[in-house]
A and B are shown apart, each in its own frame.
Chain A
Amino acid sequence: MDHLAEKYLHPRKIPSTACSGCGLGQVHKKVLLAIEESGLGLDDVVWGTGIGCAGRQTFHTWRGDNFAGTHGRVYALATGLRVALPPEKKIVLTVGDGDAFGIGLLHLLHCARRNLGITVVVADNFGYQSTGGQFGYTTPPGMVTDSSPYGNREPGWFSEGSDIFAILKDAGATFLARHSSFDGEEAVKSLVLALANPGFSLVHIIYPCVTHFGAVSLKTRDREEIYRWFAGIFAEGEHPGPHFQSGIYHDARGKRPEFASALREWTKEFGREAGRA
C-alpha cells in the first residue's frame, strides 16, 4: 500500500474489488491527495458514498467517520448531516454518474439550490457499470451498451453541446470543476478548492471502465487504446467520441450563504431576540 492508503484507509479494503484497469482508484486517490494537501485528517472529514461502482469501491475505506447512502439519496442524508455537524467538518460524497445525474438529480439540484456545504465527487464511467453496463445519462451517443444493443439513441446531459454543469450552476452551485481521472496535479488542485468552498462543490471526474464501457462500447479491453481514448476526449481538435474541457467550470466560492450555517446563525439570532423579548 502507498502512504495515502496507510494514512487514511482501512487496509482491509485495499486493493479494492474493482476490475483491473478501472480508473475509480485514480479518482479515489485524487480526493485523498486533496485531503492531504488541505491538511485535513481522519477527524476532519465525514465520507459518504452512493450506490454503484463509485460508492461500493469507496465505502468504508475512509478510516474516519463514514456512511453509505441509498441510491441517489446520499445528498439528502448529507443535508441532515450538514445541519447536525459543525461547519468545519467536511462532508465528502463519492458517487457515480447514475447516482448523481440519474436517480439523484432532484436531490442534487436542491442541495445546489441551498448551497449546502458538501463536496460531491461524481466519478463518471459513462453508465451503470456495476449492474452490468447499461447506458446512463452521460453515455456518449451511439454507444452500444447492454441496454442499448443497437446504439445509445437517448439524448444525454452532454448531447448536442449541452452540459449538466449549466443546470447545476443556475441551480446555485458555487464550485464546479471537471477532470479526467488521468489528470494529475490539476485535478488535485480543483479538489482542494472544492473542499475549501464552504458551500456546494461538485467535481465531475470521468474515468475508464474497462470491463463494460471498454469491452462493449469501445470494443476493446486494451489499456493503451482505452488510455488514448480517454486522453482524446479531453484533447483539442478533431477526434471520435465526445469532447470535454478539464478545469474549473464555475467558481463562486463564498458568494452565497451556506445553507446549514445560515440556518444555524438565524436560529441563534432568533433565540437571542426571543430571549430579549
Chain B
Amino acid sequence: MKTLFNTGNAAITEGAIWAGCQVFAGYPITPGTEIAENMSRRLPEVGGYYIQAEDETASLHICAGASLGGLKSMTATSGPGFVLYADPYGWAIGCEIPVVVVNAQRVGPVSGITGAPGQGEFYFSRYPTHGGNFETIVLAPNSSQEAFNMTLEAFRLAERFRTPVTILADQLVADGWESFQLPETPEELASLGLGVVPRLVHPGPDFYPPSDAIDIPPVVLGRGTGAAASDWTPTEEGYDTEEIEPQMWHAHRLVHKILQHRELIDRHEAYFLEDSPPLVLVSYGSPSRVVRSAVRQARAEGLAVGAIRLQSLWPFQDALFHPKTIHLVVELNTDGQLVREVARAAKGETHFWGRCGELPGVSELLVVIRDILSGQAPRSMPGQWEAW
C-alpha cells in the first residue's frame, strides 16, 4: 500500500486506472481539467487512450462508443460541461452501456466562479437527461481517498448495472491536496472494500431480458454477436418500436434494475446518532467535513446533535430520515436542493444553511445549532435559513 499526497483529481485518475479504464475522452474545464491532464499522461503508460474532444457532448459520446466497443471509459468535467452530457448520458442509459462520469461542481449559475466549490447539480445529477423512465447512480466523495475509492466503485457499479454512474465531487475535493492510500495489489484493494469487475460481452443478438436483473453483460459490438444498441425504445429483440408494452418493460428494467439492488449502492456515514439526538445535520461532499467538526464541538459542549453524511446521493436514501428529528441541511448553494429531498423524506421540521463558493465556518454552524436546540427562531444568516 503506497501513501500518495495529491489532489482529488489525481486520486480519481488512479482509481480509474486501477478499475481498468482504457479510454478517457474529455474537454478542458476548471476544475475538472486535471483529470484529463493526468489521464493524458497515465493512460498511455497502461496501454489506454486519451482523446481530447471538440466539446463535452462529443466527450461522453466518444466514451459511450468506446464502451460499446468493449473498452471501459470515463469522462470528467464541471457543471457547464455536465449540462452538455445530457444527450449522451441519455444514450448510455437507454442503450444500457456502462460509463463513468465525473462532475467537479463549481459555483454557478452558468460560468459563475471556476475556482470555488458549489453543489448546484444535486438534482441535475438525478435527472441528467430528458424523458424519465430511469434511475441514476450518483456517488459523492468528500476527500482524496474517497475520490479514489468511489471511482473504483463507480466502475464496478457501471459494469454490474449496465449504466452510467456519476461521481459528484466539488472543486475543493477535486483540487484539494490530501494524502490517500493507493493499493498496489488486488489484496490491498480488497482491504479497502474495493474490487474490479471485468468487462464481459452480451451474447446478443437479442436485447436485454424484460427483468430487473443485474450482472447481465452489456452489449459489445465488433464481436460478431449481431447485437444492437438501440437508443429507440427497443423490443426484446432490439427492434425500434412504437408499442407501449415493450416501452413499459424497457422503463421497468431501467428503473428497477437499480431500485431492486440498492444494497449495492446505498452508503452513508452517521456521527453521534446513537442516542437519537433531536437535531441532525445533513450534508455531502466537502461541507460535510466542517459539519463533522461542528457536531463534534457541539457534543463537547453537551449539545444533543448528530450528523448524517450521504456518500451515495441517488437513489435517495429516504429511510435515513425520521419525522420526529429536526434536520439542518448544509449545502454549497443558496437555492437549497438536498434540503428539498430531506424535507420530503423526513416530513418533519427541516432547516437549511446554504452558501455557494465558500464552506461554512464551524462557529457559524454552532450558532445555528444552538438556536435550533433552544427553540429560538433561527437568526438570519448570509446564506439565509428558514423552516423549509
Whether chain A touches chain B in the assembled complex (some CB pair under 8 Å): yes
**Of B51, B63, B67, B69, which is within 8 A of A85 by CB?**
B69
Min C-beta distance of B253 to chain A, whole Å: 18
**Of B25, B57, B232, which is within 8 A of A68 by CB?**
B232
Is there contact, CB below 8 Å, between B54 and A84? Answer: no
**Of A59, A76, A84, A89, which is within 8 A of B23 by CB?**
A84
Which stretch of A137-145, A228-236, A263-271 is in the interface?
Answer: A263-271
Which stretch of B142-150, B159-167, B220-228, B375-383 is in the interface?
Answer: B220-228
Min C-beta distance of B52 to chain A, whole Å: 10
Residue on A nearest B63 in the bound complex, by CB: A80
Is there contact, CB below 8 Å, between A63 and B66? Answer: no
**Of B49, B53, B90, B232, which is within 8 A of A76 by CB?**
B53
Per the 8 Å Cβ criterion, residues 229-257 of B in contact with A are 229-232, 238-240
Number of A residues contacting the other chain (C-beta, 8 Å)? 41
The CA of A66 and the CA of B231, in the complex, are separated in Å by: 11
Residues of the A chain whose Cβ atoms lie less than 8 Å from the Cβ of B57: 73, 76
Is there contact, CB below 8 Å, between A83 and B51? Answer: yes
A30 at the interface (CB under 8 A from B): no
Residue on B nearest A64 in the bound complex, by CB: B226
Residues of the A chain whose Cβ atoms lie less than 8 Å from the Cβ of B229: 66-68
Min C-beta distance of A146 to chain B, whole Å: 22
Encode B188-221 as 1/0 by CB contact (under 8 A) with A: 0000000000000000110000000000000001
**Of A42, A85, A107, which is within 8 A of B221 by CB?**
A85
Residues of the B chain whose Cβ atoms lie less than 8 Å from the Cβ of A68: 228-232, 240
The CA of A86 and the CA of B67, in the complex, are separated in Å by: 14
Residues of the B chain whose Cβ atoms lie less than 8 Å from the Cβ of A271: 44-45, 47
B64 at the interface (CB under 8 A from A): yes
Is there contact, CB below 8 Å, between B240 and A59? Answer: yes
Encode B29-53 as 1/0 by CB contact (under 8 A) with A: 0000000000000001101110101
24 residue pairs bridging A and B, Cβ less than 8 Å apart: A59-B230, A60-B230, A60-B238, A65-B226, A66-B229, A70-B231, A73-B57, A76-B57, A77-B61, A77-B65, A79-B51, A80-B51, A80-B66, A81-B65, A81-B66, A81-B68, A84-B65, A84-B69, A86-B222, A107-B54, A110-B54, A264-B49, A270-B44, A270-B45
B73 at the interface (CB under 8 A from A): yes
Residues of the A chain whose Cβ atoms lie less than 8 Å from the Cβ of B83: none
Min C-beta distance of A32 to chain B, whole Å: 16
The CA of A76 and the CA of B73, in the complex, are separated in Å by: 14
Residues of the A chain whose Cβ atoms lie less than 8 Å from the Cβ of B45: 270-271, 274
Is there contact, CB below 8 Å, between B61 and A46? Answer: no
Per the 8 Å Cβ criterion, residues 45-93 of A in contact with B are 46, 56, 59-60, 63-70, 73, 76-86, 89
